[in-house]
Amino acid sequence: MSALAPTGHDRQISELRALIASGKRKQVIFAAAGVLCTAFAVLVLIAAFLDLLIDGLPRLSWSFLTNFPSRRASEAGILSAWIGSAMVMLVTIFAAVPIGVGAAVYLEEYAKKNWITDLIEINVTNLAGVPSIVFGLLALGLFVHQFGFGEAVLTAGLTLALLILPIVIVSSREALRTVPSHIREAAYAMGATRWQMISDHLLPYSRGGILTGIILGMAEAIGQTAPLITIGALTFIAFLPPTPVTGEFPFLNFAWIWSEFTVLPIQMYNWVSRPDRAFQLNAAAAGVILLGMTLVMNGLAIYLRYQVRKKIKW
Amino acid sequence: MVSMDAAVAGRGSEPKADEQLRLRAEARSLDFYYGTFKALKGVQMPIYENKVTALIGPSGCGKSTFLRCFNRMHDLYPNMRYEGEIRLMPDNVNILAREVDPIEVRMRIGMVFQKPNPFPKSIFENVVYGLRVRGVSNKGALDRKAEQALREAALWNEVKDRLNDLASELSGGQQQRLCIARALATDPEIMLFDEPTSALDPIATASIEELVHELKSRVTILIVTHNMQQAARVSDFTAYMYLGEVVEFGETNQIFIKPAKKATEDYITGRFG
């Protein structure tokens, strides 16, 4: 072909090829840089995780989960810590879910679009960026002193609920917004009231997204330390709160919400700060448990999102 | 493609001269505003009982806006305003009046949308949703009504064995017939169709058109369509709208064969639009 083409044309083509080649070199350099950056981030994460595993795994045993903390590192366990964490999370769920979802439904479906709504929206979004210790101070003043709840499970649960409200509200609003307007119109056209439209359609169709937001919020809450230290969580607890389920009518007992408590990250913090190396291994083991719980929650959130995407077609 | 005259002549429902026309609803000097934009200007139009009335006209002429006035759909969105009346017979109530609850209006007047919009629920739950909203919870009553509505929408034989399947598993045409069944199940006084076949293939379109034609013995129908042949095939009366006004309203025969206005003739013969 080139024999037929004029020589000027040949030169044009070779210039073009040189241009493409230099463009491709830049592309390769950038791709390599990108791989390095990603590898660095991932490797640091893996190294930290492995370090934790190597230190912590040998300490993990059934008795580690069922023992109270002790002065002897080899006998110490995280029973009061993980039960404390579970109870605080329970309060957090029961407080954050109705308030968060309710606020999201109001902002998305009922609120008029005016400057007050805009102001509320900006505030909610900015709350997500407030340092968690500030929530601790707020809770110390409001729940512990003003309301007199004391340094109890209830106070801790409510504090963490406040902390994750922005996450729950923002993700719930996003989930509600994914329901297309033609579905809303279909419901209204059948004579549904606004609340019927919301309860029969919006909430069921967006429950996957809402659940995802709640779980991500819980994963955030379970690792919190600073606000709970601020409200006075104890670092050494050798007793359990009263059990919430009892053998006698009415089978539920709410005394546990007034109980003093500790949680996993605070137990870790306590052990890490001891000079004895054996306690630091305990901290690593507790860290493995905490990390495992967070991973499970995040995995559940991803699974739910995937399930809902697969199921609901508009 | 069938010529216009043949399509008109082919209709099986020529209004007989001695037939009594009964008024079912009437728009009286109806204006509608989106903000400051006046989308409907002094619309004046009768809707006759057990007849199909078609609204035709170019995009943006206000035909869908007019249709959505009948079930107060505009009330869902801010910055809109009705002026004038739509009188619903026989009780002669102005359904646009502020004191009339839009929910009551929507319970009396059903609607089928442009894009099939079944709920992401089972076929059965879709059909009975209107009844559930009206407080019916008796299983037997729901079953009976669902079967009746699905039969009327010519869908029963295709779905009777899979009422609990998700509605999204149906084809587009079946979904649209499901939406028609959903509206029919509540025995509406008037049914609004907003370009119900624009998202469907020709075969599904034909089945919907046939359905509209059959349904008019049971319910008064108002249909918006882009498709001139469709208006000619299914309707008894036709209104040609342009820029928010009704240019011409009359029996479909007359509108398509000898329109009174030059503008109507230009539009239906394809010289404009």
What pLDDT is attached to residue B9? 44
- A90-99, A183-192, A275-284, B2-11: which range is least confident on average? B2-11
Residues A140 and A27 in one domain: no
Instruction: Convert the pLDDT of each residue in B37-67 to its tens digit.
Output: 999 998 999 999 999 999 998 888 999 999 9
CA B64 to chain centroid, in Å, comes to 10
Percent of chain A with pLDDT over 70: 95
Instruction: Convert the pLDDT of each residue in A29-61 to its tens digit.
Output: 999 999 999 999 999 999 998 998 888 888 888
- Residue B44: give its domain's CATH number: 3.40.50.300
CA distance B146 to chain A (A): 15
| Pairing mode of beta strands B23-34, B190-194 | unpaired
C-beta of residue B164 within 8 angstroms of C-beta of residue B128: no
Residues A217 and A97 in one domain: yes
User: pLDDT confidence of A125, banded at 50, 70, 90?
Assistant: confident
Q: Residues near B128 by Cβ (< 8 Å), separated by ≥ 6?
A: B136, B142, B145, B146, B185
Q: Is B133 in CB contact (< 8 Å) with chain A?
A: yes
- Residue A212: give its domain's CATH number: 1.10.3720.10
pTM, to two decimals: 0.80
Q: Is B130 in CB contact (< 8 Å) with chain A?
A: yes
The number of folded domains in chain A is 2
Task: Let me know if B7 is exposed, middle or buried by CB neighbors in 10 A (0-12, 13-18, 19+).
Answer: middle
Residues A19 and A110 in one domain: no
Q: Which residue, A41, A57, A73, sits at the end of a domain?
A: A57
The number of folded domains in chain B is 1
C-beta of residue B175 within 8 angstroms of C-beta of residue B118: yes
CA A81 to chain centroid, in Å, comes to 19
User: pLDDT confidence of B5, banded at 50, 70, 90?
Assistant: very low
Percent of chain A with pLDDT over 90: 33
Q: Is B106 in CB contact (< 8 Å) with chain A?
A: yes
Task: Kindly determine whether residue A188 and residue B73, on different chains, have CB atoms separated by under 8 Å.
Answer: yes
CA distance B266 to chain A (A): 34
Residues A50 and A193 in one domain: no
Q: Is A271 in CB contact (< 8 Å) with chain B?
A: no
Residues A72 and A134 in one domain: yes
- Structural domain of residue A103, as residue ranges? 62-311
User: pLDDT confidence of B18, banded at 50, 70, 90?
Assistant: low
In order of A55, A129, B72, B159, the CA distances from A266 in angstroms are 18, 22, 58, 59
B35 in a structural domain: yes
CA B56, CA B16: separation in Å to the nearest integer?
Answer: 23
Residues A162 and A176 in one domain: yes
What pLDDT is attached to residue A197? 94
Residues A164 and A271 in one domain: yes
Instruction: Convert the pLDDT of each residue in A184-199 to its tens digit.
Output: 999 999 999 999 999 9
User: pLDDT confidence of B16, banded at 50, 70, 90?
Assistant: low
Residues A35 and A138 in one domain: no
- A113-127, A147-161, B258-272: which range is least confident on average? B258-272
CA B223, CA B51: separation in Å to the nearest integer?
Answer: 11
Length of chain B: 273
Query: Whose structure tokens read 């089972």?
Result: B122
**A chain contacts of residue B111, beta-carbon cutoff 8 Å:** 189
Residues A53 and A66 in one domain: no
CA distance A307 to chain B (A): 14
B164 in a structural domain: no
The candidate with the shortest Cα–Cα distance to A174, out of A210, A142, A127, is A210
User: pLDDT confidence of A5, banded at 50, 70, 90?
Assistant: low
Average pLDDT of chain B?
87
- Decide if pLDDT at B10 tops 80: no
Task: Kindly determine whether residue A191 and residue B134, on different chains, have CB atoms separated by under 8 Å.
Answer: yes
- Structural domain of residue B96, as residue ranges? 4-12+22-116+192-268
CA A226 to chain centroid, in Å, comes to 16
Task: Kindly determine whether residue A190 and residue B129, on different chains, have CB atoms separated by under 8 Å.
Answer: yes
